[in-house]
Amino acid sequence: MNGEWSERTKLAQALGAIDEKSRAVVPPIHIASTFIRDPDNQYRSGNVYGRPDNETVREAEAIIAAIEGAQSAFVLGSGMSAAVAVFLALKPGDHIVAPKVMYWALRNWLMNDAASWGLETTFVDMTNLDAVAAAIRPGKTALIWAETPANPLWTITDIEAVAALAHRSGARLAVDSTCASPLLTRTLDFGADIVMHAATKYLNGHSDVLAGALATRSDDEFWARIKRNRAAMGLILGPFEAFLLIRGMRTLALRMEAACASAMELATRFANHARVSEVLYPGLASHAGHAIAKRQMRGGFGGMLSIRVRGGEAAAIATAARVELWKRATSLGGVESLIEHRASIEGAGSPCPPDLLRLSAGIEDVEDLYRDLSRALDASA
């Protein structure tokens, strides 16, 4: 597809791919696990075996690379497998700087499992550039991992500033941009080396696929190690899941627009609700990271927000128990709106306050969403 077209157009047409044989506007799903060699024993198709090679997977990767402005992209079996694939491409003895506020499962992996691979991690407040700079060990720190907006407090990291700190010390910057999506933040444009998405969330958007994605600014030796790990460990996404991911990405622009609008409306209204002590959403001018978010996010501030309920943990749990329209479920980024008491999920050591409810705004009528949650808050008093 012509490079001049917008990301929205590229997504809607899945880069304009047409099946050459049938002329279908939706390409077929390639499910083969093995491929024919050429008579001279070569594989000129580029396909050798299903574990590292699949045409449907490549179609999904091409779309992600195009909308991220990346040299290359990979899709993997989950967001966790994508993130861990980056860390496993490091070398034993390497040092990592990671945020204190981040996706809890990955934080737990870094705290409990990374050391067995010879990796050391320092956790910092990624919104404090002085703290990030102090945590870097020149010649030792190989990777800074950031997440913005950061789940579930929605803190904002200055990508450009952290990238400068990383590169000055010879480290790479990788950013989990799941909650922004490529439509709100083109992370690589701000200096990040690698961007990661839990593609289960906004990229797919229908709560029916587990997938992860990585995209890189430079197709270098480090990226080659990630590729080798993906093949060696069988981390590739299945072809049917890749097809569903492509299908979901076609409507990403519409879904993200609706989610951002609803989240902004809900944040504004709940900020003045008698039963809410605080709203955490980078779109609010009162948010500590609002100015940075405004600079590096376009078209909205995301579909994720959190509210802190007056009355503490018991009131927050009671509120979640009383909603009718919102769904009490883990995950985010789907067409349905979800609510979750995060401290219960994350457990000991979580930075999440016990009175916090995490909200993922879907594409329902925002008035219905507000009325349902407002009633639940009032009933929990």
pLDDT of 3 > 80? The answer is no
The H-or-E segment that residue 74 falls in is strand 72-76
Per-residue pLDDT tens over the stretch 228-285: 999 999 999 999 999 999 999 999 999 999 999 999 999 999 999 999 999 999 999 9
Model confidence band, residue 1 (pLDDT cutoffs 50, 70, 90):
confident
Report the interhelical angle of 79-88 vs 104-112 (nearest 10°).
30
Q: Span 72-94, mean pLDDT?
A: 97
Alpha-carbon radius of gyration of the chain: 21
Q: What is the pLDDT of residue 121?
A: 98
So what's the pLDDT on residue 140? 98
Looking at 3.30.60.50, 3.90.1150.10, 3.40.50.1370, 3.40.640.10, the CATH number of the domain 252-379 comes to 3.90.1150.10
Residue 217 has pLDDT above 90, yes or no: yes
Task: Please report the pLDDT score of residue 366 as a whole number.
Answer: 98
Q: In this structure, are strands 212-216 and 72-76 parallel, antiparallel, or unpaired? A: antiparallel
Q: What is the pLDDT of residue 19?
A: 85
Q: Is the pLDDT of residue 317 over 90?
A: yes
| Length of the chain (residues) | 381
Handedness of CA 366, 371, 376, 377 (dihedral sign): positive
Q: Does domain 7-249 have CATH number 3.40.640.10?
A: yes
Sign of CA dihedral 175, 178, 180, 186: positive
Phi-psi region of 12 (alpha: psi -120 to 50; beta: other; left: phi over 0): alpha
Considering the chain, what is the average pLDDT of its residues?
Answer: 96
Q: Which residue has the higher pLDDT, 298 or 381?
A: 298
pLDDT class of 349 with cuts at 50, 70, 90 = confident
pLDDT of 159: 98
Q: What is the mean pLDDT of residues 351-363?
A: 97
Known catalytic residues are 51, 103, 176, 201
As annotated, the residues of the chain forming the CATH 3.40.640.10 domain(s) are: 7-249
Q: What does the pLDDT look like over 278-301, one tens digit per residue?
A: 999 999 999 999 999 999 999 999
Provide the pLDDT for residue 204: 98
Question: What pLDDT score does 240 carry?
Answer: 97
CATH 3.90.1150.10 residue ranges for the chain: 252-379
Name the pLDDT band for 347 (thresholds 50, 70, 90).
confident
Residue that the structure tokens 């910057």 belong to: 173
Cβ neighbours of residue 272 under 8 Å, at least 6 residues apart? none
The DSSP call for residue 189 is G
Looking at residue 4, its pLDDT comes to: 85
Which one, of 167, 168, 213, lies nearest residue 193 by Cα?
Answer: 167
Structure confidence by residue, pLDDT tens digits, 327-339: 999 999 999 999 9
Given this model, what pLDDT does residue 187 score?
A: 98
Tokens for 252, please give them.
Answer: 């990403």
Are the beta carbons of 202 and 181 closer than 8 angstroms? yes
